[in-house]
């Protein structure tokens, strides 16, 4: 980054009551004339956490803005339905590079990388700020900086550790962040810490803005007649339902939930989500595992669902089972907003949201027995579950509101445009 010291000088980082570091006031930063125009870039056309985080920011942006996607998919339709102009620049070779790509993978995609970096640079010229929302967007947007010469902000949604990324990717991220990115905002302290470790930036130069949820979207769902809601969604009306939301992928740990389910005879498990990035083999493995555990009749694959608030409200408990540290975990704040008790894997950004025994329960990642025990505990003690839910609703309103998230991101973008 060009000037982490000046970030400090502007007082961009402040302690929140909950001990959460967030980017704070930039109002009055010299040189900011109104709301800057922004080109948002995202590598995915799918609706993952990073995209659902960008959606409300891009759609409510108060100045000229456009979203440039590096792949097509339902994200485009969602943006367009909210009146956001979307452009596409797709390249199958570049899309095919995985997070753990080795040197060869990058070399094969080189012509596509150059083409896409130039395409981003061409579009960026018409905007004040280039907002990069994902890793590939970072690489391509930052590589083109000599061509577009625009200020760059990177929204970091990942823990850039060896657990999640290959050595080439980490090296590229390290040098591009140092020399081409003007400001980084991380989605959690866990993500920020991983970048600080990689780049040796001063910790205070990577402010944290946690995701926010629109509480109204949850309040709008009438769950007073739970049976009717479940009937409407095609779920068993009277079973005790545990919901696990998110894409089907090994590190999201759906197999841990299946293992736990085998020890919870009266519970049904609903897997809400799909294999978004080619993890079909894992889905097949889950089906084989379910057959082996004889839990098929209590396991429901419902695929990707657009209306997460309704599906969450239809559950008795929301599970989060990631086996690797989760960068943030939107599903957790959504579960809290839905007024359902949450049991989550204690690693990464999750521990910045869930306070064990206060607003939810934490279990060790990968510990199916502990997960089953936590579910049993909540079933056995509905009053305790209700206390967790009440506190979670207070916490989500105080620390994870959509308004606060948008306000903080707006300030960070305005700061970059100064
Ligand atoms: N989600 C959804 N429909 C589904 C499954 C998941 O809308 O069928 C949403 C979920 O509500 C959450 C996001 O996908 O907002 C997942 O975000 P999270 O941060 O939990 O995981 P990520 O995708 O970033 O790894």
Q: What is the pLDDT of residues 282-315, one digit of tens each?
A: 999 999 999 999 999 999 999 999 999 999 999 9
Over range 29-43, report the average pLDDT. 79
Q: Pocket of ligand 1, candidates 43, 52, 270: which has the most ligand atoms within 8 Å of its Cβ, to mutate?
A: 52
Q: Are strands 267-272 and 342-345 parallel, antiparallel or unpaired?
A: unpaired
352 and 288 share one domain: yes
Checking if the pLDDT of 323 tops 60, the result is yes
Short-list 351, 359, 361, 362, CA closest to 391: 359
- pLDDT, residue 24, reads 38
Mean pLDDT of the chain: 90
- Among residues of the chain, what percentage have pLDDT more than 70? 88
CA of 205 to the centre of ligand 1 (A): 28
pTM score of the predicted model: 0.91
Residue with tokens 């079909």: 280
Categorize the per-residue pLDDT at 3 as very low, low, confident or very high, splitting at 50, 70 and 90.
Answer: very low
Indicate the angle between helix axes 49-60 and 330-337, nearest 10 degrees: 70
Instruction: Answer with the residue of higher pLDDT: 11 or 377.
Output: 377
CA of 247 to the centre of ligand 1 (A): 7
Over range 192-198, report the average pLDDT. 98
65 - beta bridge partners? 38
Asked if residue 140 lies in contact with residue 117, where contact means CB atoms within 8 angstroms, the answer is: yes
182 and 248 share one domain: no
- pLDDT, residue 34, reads 84
310 and 204 share one domain: no
204 and 315 share one domain: no
325 and 201 share one domain: no
Query: Which CATH number does the domain housing residue 204 bear?
Result: 3.40.50.2000
11 and 137 share one domain: yes
222 and 194 share one domain: no
Over range 89-96, report the average pLDDT. 75
- pLDDT, residue 17, reads 30
Query: Ligand 1 pocket, 217 CB below 6 A?
Result: no
Query: Ligand 1 pocket, 59 CB below 6 A?
Result: no
Structural domain count, the chain: 2
Between CA 161 and CA 132 the distance in angstroms is: 19
Task: Write out the two tokens for 344.
Answer: 């989550």
Checking if the pLDDT of 409 tops 70, the result is yes
Residue 305 has a CB neighbour count (10 Å cut-off) of 15
Q: Break the chain down into helix, strand, coil percent, rounded to 5.
A: 45, 15, 35
- pLDDT, residue 109, reads 77
Query: Ligand 1 pocket, 78 CB below 6 A?
Result: no
Checking if the pLDDT of 11 tops 90, the result is no
90 and 151 share one domain: yes
- pLDDT, residue 122, reads 97
The closest-lying atom of ligand 1 relative to the alpha carbon of residue 47 is: 14
3-state class (DSSP) for residue 9: helix
Checking if the pLDDT of 260 tops 70, the result is yes
Checking if the pLDDT of 28 tops 70, the result is no
Over range 61-86, report the average pLDDT. 97
Short-list 7, 344, 362, 308, CA closest to 186: 7
CA of 72 to the centre of ligand 1 (A): 18
Categorize the per-residue pLDDT at 2 as very low, low, confident or very high, splitting at 50, 70 and 90.
Answer: very low
Indicate the angle between helix axes 135-143 and 167-179, nearest 10 degrees: 50
Checking if the pLDDT of 375 tops 70, the result is yes
Task: Write out the two tokens for 63.
Answer: 């100045």
Categorize the per-residue pLDDT at 271 as very low, low, confident or very high, splitting at 50, 70 and 90.
Answer: very high
| Dihedral, CA of residue 366, residue 280, residue 191 and residue 16, to nearest 10 | -80
CA of 27 to the centre of ligand 1 (A): 32
Categorize the per-residue pLDDT at 111 as very low, low, confident or very high, splitting at 50, 70 and 90.
Answer: confident
Checking if the pLDDT of 27 tops 70, the result is no
Short-list 259, 257, 262, CA closest to 273: 257
Over range 124-135, report the average pLDDT. 97
203 and 273 share one domain: no
Q: Pocket of ligand 1, candidates 46, 47, 99, 254: which has the most ligand atoms within 8 Å of its Cβ, to mutate?
A: 47
Checking if the pLDDT of 53 tops 80, the result is yes
Over range 355-375, report the average pLDDT. 98
125 and 219 share one domain: no
Q: Provide the residue range defining the domain that includes 238.
A: 215-399
164 backbone φψ class: left, alpha, beta (φ>0; ψ -120 to 50): alpha
Between CA 276 and CA 47 the distance in angstroms is: 8
Specify the DSSP class assigned to residue 78.
H
197 and 240 share one domain: no
155 - beta bridge partners? 185
| Residue 200 burial class via C-beta count within 10 angstroms: exposed 0-12, middle 13-18, buried 19 and up | exposed
H helix intervals, 280-381: 280-293, 308-313, 330-337, 368-380
262 backbone φψ class: left, alpha, beta (φ>0; ψ -120 to 50): alpha
Checking if the pLDDT of 25 tops 50, the result is no
Categorize the per-residue pLDDT at 106 as very low, low, confident or very high, splitting at 50, 70 and 90.
Answer: low
- pLDDT, residue 176, reads 96
Checking if the pLDDT of 7 tops 50, the result is no
Residue with tokens 């949201």: 353
In total, the chain counts a number of residues equal to 418
Query: Ligand 1 pocket, 212 CB below 6 A?
Result: no
- pLDDT, residue 91, reads 78
Categorize the per-residue pLDDT at 163 as very low, low, confident or very high, splitting at 50, 70 and 90.
Answer: confident
Categorize the per-residue pLDDT at 101 as very low, low, confident or very high, splitting at 50, 70 and 90.
Answer: low
- Among residues of the chain, what percentage have pLDDT more than 90? 83
Q: Pick the range with the lowest mean pLDDT from 98-102, 162-166, 186-190, 263-267.
A: 98-102
392 and 254 share one domain: yes
3-state class (DSSP) for residue 275: coil
Specify the DSSP class assigned to residue 91.
-
């Amino acid at each position: 980054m060009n000037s982490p010291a000046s970030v400090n000088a502007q007082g961009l980082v402040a302690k929140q009551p909950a001990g959460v570091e967030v980017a704070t006031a930039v109002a009055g930063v010299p040189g900011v004339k109104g709301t800057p125009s922004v080109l948002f870039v995202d590598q995915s056309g799918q609706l993952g956490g990073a995209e659902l985080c960008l959606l409300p920011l891009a759609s409510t942006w108060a100045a000229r803005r456009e979203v440039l996607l590096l792949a097509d998919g339902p994200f485009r339709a969602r943006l367009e339905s909210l009146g956001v102009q979307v452009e596409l620049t797709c390249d199958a070779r570049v899309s095919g590079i995985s997070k753990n790509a080795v040197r060869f993978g990058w070399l094969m995609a080189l012509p596509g990388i150059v083409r896409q970096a130039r395409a981003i640079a061409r579009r960026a010229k018409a905007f004040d700020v280039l907002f990069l929302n994902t890793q590939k967007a970072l690489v391509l947007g930052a590589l083109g900086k000599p061509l577009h010469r625009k200020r760059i902000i990177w929204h970091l949604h990942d823990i850039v550790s060896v657990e999640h990324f290959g050595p080439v990717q980490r090296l590229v991220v390290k040098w591009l962040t140092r020399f081409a990115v003007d400001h980084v905002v991380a989605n959690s302290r866990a993500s920020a810490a991983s970048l600080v470790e990689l780049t040796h930036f001063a910790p205070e130069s990577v402010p944290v803005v946690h995701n926010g949820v629109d509480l109204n979207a949850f309040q709008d769902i009438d769950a007073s007649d739970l049976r009717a809601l479940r009937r409407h969604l095609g779920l068993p009306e009277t079973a005790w339902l545990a919901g696990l939301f998110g894409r089907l992928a090994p590190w999201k740990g759906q197999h841990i939930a299946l293992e736990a389910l085998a020890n919870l005879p009266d519970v049904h498990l609903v897997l809400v989500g799909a294999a978004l990035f080619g993890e079909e083999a894992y889905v097949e493995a889950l089906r084989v595992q379910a057959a082996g555990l004889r839990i098929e009749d209590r396991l429901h694959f419902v695929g990707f669902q657009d209306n997460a608030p309704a599906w969450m409200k239809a559950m008795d408990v929301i599970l989060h089972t990631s086996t690797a540290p989760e960068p943030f975990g939107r599903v957790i704040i959504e579960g809290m907003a839905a007024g359902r008790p949450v049991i989550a894997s204690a690693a990464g950004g999750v521990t910045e949201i869930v306070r064990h025994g206060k607003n939810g329960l934490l279990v060790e990642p990968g510990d199916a027995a502990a997960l089953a025990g936590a579910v049993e505990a909540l079933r056995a003690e509905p009053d305790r579950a209700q206390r967790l839910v009440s506190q979670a609703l207070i916490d989500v309103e105080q620390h994870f509101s959509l308004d606060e998230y948008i306000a903080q991101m707006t300030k960070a973008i305005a700061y970059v445009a100064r």
